[in-house]
């Protein structure tokens, strides 16, 4: 039998609440595991993402991270990057300042205690092709609920960023599966991030994505928060930008994310990372080595 050790963490947690935030499983050593087995292990844990730590192929990075949803591998995601960085520090693979290699590129990550922050890739954006009426209906809203200019944004993983006029509209949103037949990212995935500003320094957000015939909601979405920063730049809004973002209340997993865009346009996404526990999976050698 081969023993595979893992850690369970919550990322973007609320201070003092260990069971808030977005859950994550990190396998400490993914060497020798096939793509198929990584995908099957992610499906076994059935969290929004499971990651596998590997030696980096880049001299500037302390580790390589592969990120899997239960259905497919992602080039980049926020809470898996922060949680994986925390595990790397715990394993002695890095310190409070480290760089992780992802399929989307090198991601610098830093920590102050249990508060971790990543620097996202430079953002790019493009216009949507779906009519506002169709987009609003697919989100269970009216066109009047949409604010200025939804965009596809990519600061590591392309997602649809949809500004709404009020927090009440964010809470009322209810995405339909048929929306994602028309709204697909450049890599063929359907997803939508809706948000509304609340004052000058806070926002409320939700993130919807399909799984089979169902539409699921993510408790906290770091990649979309980075894309929110890209949207902010695309709209020509004043920099620096500093926002506290509340997400996850409708899933029963309240989360808090910090978005920072500095005057040079560098996008930082941060939050609290809490390790809940450790464990192991035992697999027959013939399965682990496939």
Q: What residues act catalytically?
A: 49
Distance between CA 36 and CA 48 in Å, rounded? 17
Element (H, E) at 170: helix 167-172
Sequence-separated (6 or more) residues with CB below 8 Å from residue 279: 5, 6, 8
Here the tokens at position 252 are: 């029963």
Distance between CA 118 and CA 80 in Å, rounded? 11
Is 229 within 8 Å of 241 (Cβ atoms)?
A: yes
Here the tokens at position 36 are: 């198929």
Please give the torsion angle defined by the CA atoms of residues 190, 20, 267 and 227, in that order, rounded to the nearest 10 degrees: 10
Q: Which residue carries 């996008």 as its tokens? A: 267
Q: Which backbone phi and psi does 256 adopt, to 5 degrees? A: -135, 130
Distance between CA 160 and CA 165 in Å, rounded? 16
């Amino acid at each position: 039998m081969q023993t595979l050790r893992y850690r369970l963490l919550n990322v973007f947690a609320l201070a003092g609440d260990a069971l808030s935030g977005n859950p994550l499983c990190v396998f400490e050593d993914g060497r020798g595991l096939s793509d198929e087995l990584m995908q099957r292990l992610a499906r076994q844990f059935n969290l929004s993402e499971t990651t596998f730590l590997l030696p980096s192929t880049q001299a500037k990075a302390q580790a390589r991270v592969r990120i899997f949803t239960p259905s497919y591998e992602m080039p980049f995601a926020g809470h898996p990057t922060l949680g994986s960085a925390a595990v790397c520090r715990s394993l002695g693979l890095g310190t409070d300042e480290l760089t992780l290699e992802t399929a989307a590129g090198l991601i610098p990550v830093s920590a102050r205690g249990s508060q971790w922050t990543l620097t996202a890739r430079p953002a790019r954006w493009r216009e949507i092709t779906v009519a506002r009426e169709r987009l609003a209906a697919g989100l269970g809203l009216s066109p009047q609920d949409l604010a200025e200019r939804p965009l596809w944004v990519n600061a590591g993983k392309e997602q649809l960023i949809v500004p709404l006029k009020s927090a009440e509209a964010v809470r009322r949103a209810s995405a339909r599966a048929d929306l994602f037949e028309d709204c697909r990212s450049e890599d063929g995935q359907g997803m939508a991030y809706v948000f509304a500003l609340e004052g000058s320094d806070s926002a409320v957000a939700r993130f919807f994505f399909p799984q089979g015939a169902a539409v699921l909601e993510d408790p906290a979405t770091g990649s979309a928060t980075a894309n929110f920063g890209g949207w902010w730049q695309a709209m020509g809004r004043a920099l620096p930008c500093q926002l506290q973002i509340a997400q996850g209340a409708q899933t029963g997993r309240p989360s808090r994310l910090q978005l920072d865009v500095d005057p040079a346009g560098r996008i930082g996404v941060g939050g609290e990372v809490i390790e809940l526990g450790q464990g192991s999976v035992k697999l027959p050698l013939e399965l682990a080595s496939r």
